[in-house]
Structure 1
């Protein structure tokens, strides 16, 4: 068994098509996951039922494997008449919609806890100063708390993003041909397991290291005035 350069070159268009599918799945998941995570993170900082519900949301979606969620959404929800016999069927019969929803729920569970940690790390004096200036709560949140929290959570968000890139390989279970599935398809008709999988691994390596370097540059920029020990 050896790495066949010719097979790698001939299979590259298919692998790049799979890479495109990976990004088509990933990018909406990141946006939707953040939108879902923000109110959960804010609720987690409060007390009473809101904090309890937010904690339960985080615990559930951090604990359930993304593959199980994908199966439940893609294969389980259509079993209910309210889905199968209404306009919702046009949504849940689309594997992309199911992939976006399933992975976004998983992503939001982790991101809610990351955002909560970033918000909790802001010194209370900063918030008190903003309140003394009579800034409105929404101004304090969007102009002060979230920008400051972004500095604290940058490295944690990088790790979560790298994990989510690799988690997109689960969408092959609901008929989407992502990068991993494309490599397996090449293996099926070439009977060469090493070349397509190693090529796919190289593409994943390029993606993850590009993300890592981008975050390193962003961290140096936003924290350039931070005194480091």
Structure 2
């Protein structure tokens, strides 16, 4: 039987990861596959919280770049994450996994309000908690949300699931095929080299709270489980000690 290395994890899913090859909207087959992988680690009694992005539907920063008010564009992006969270909840429930969506923007008809102690209690009861609507504030990314929620619920690790990328590289491997893949980095090295894995706010939060980060490719089946069980996949980013 597989033995998990981590007891409580935050899984960071980009919106693009839910879109599959389409690049936008939601691919039902992809989201079902991700739900099945999550079900496998829940069966190992791992407590799973998920932060989902909304880039497959709307990117606030893209709207801002075209002249839209930045705060308004960001709020629209937060609502996009709620759509993804509900789709993921449905897929998880269909896989037999009890799930709760907690939103930083109150919308009681579709999600619970985010309450830290309630979220922790859900995790302790074996429910997957999906954190939606970012931090509830404009100008903050869902990477920052993942770092903040991981610190709040005292998660052991953040699993950053990427599509089409299997770790952190010195350059974009699609542009430069000679780019070097890093197996391990510190947050300070990541920031100093401008690698762009997470924004500086998220990286600083993880560094200050000593939360390790594993960046890996979610397109490969069982990679979530492999990461949870401590297999060396992708890139591990650690604190400076």
TM-score normalised to structure 2 length: 0.28
Greater C-alpha Rg? 1
> Which structure shows the higher helix fraction?
1
Greater RCO structure (CA 8 Å; 6+ sep): 1
